[in-house]
Amino acid sequence: MKKNKGTIENSVADEPYFARSEAALSSFLGRWCAGTLPKEEWTHAAHLAVAACYVFDHPAKGALQKIRAGIIHYNACVGTANTDHSGYHETLTRFWCGLIADFLRTRAFSSRLEFVRAALNRFGRDSSLFRSYYAFDVVKDVRARREWIAPDCRAPSKP
């Protein structure tokens, strides 16, 4: 079976490269912040890792602001237009940040790296989890891309 850098599997050897050490995570995060992370590496796992880092390191409101600004900046750097139909998506960003912040509160994590690995293990295999929280196509909804729309379906049980 072919493995991609962003694929999440069960063993440490199969973790994304950025989850293998604190140094790798810091390097990945630095390249993302600088807008030099290759576009093909901006995967679901990468989104989760960025969110987990910011949620771990900052209060919720500050984390969300930094993630929002970071995604908009990153997209501009790699040529992804932030429009009504592509790029930054407010509802999905807030959804995943909230889920990851809730997960952080489930136990004490000893380090940012431990939390990133746990978040990847918990959420990395299901990039479409948000679909069970919304009765409409939240990805294509222009209003949802521009502003937060709370889930309108009964949410699955907490992590």
**pLDDT at residue 14, as a whole number:** 74
For the stretch 7-17, pLDDT in tens is 333 344 478 99
- The CA radius of gyration of the chain, in Å to the nearest whole number, is 15
Residue ranges of the chain with per-residue pLDDT less than 70: 1-13, 154-159
- Amino acid of residue 104: L
Residue 124 to residue 7: CA distance in whole angstroms:
8
**pLDDT at residue 155, as a whole number:** 61
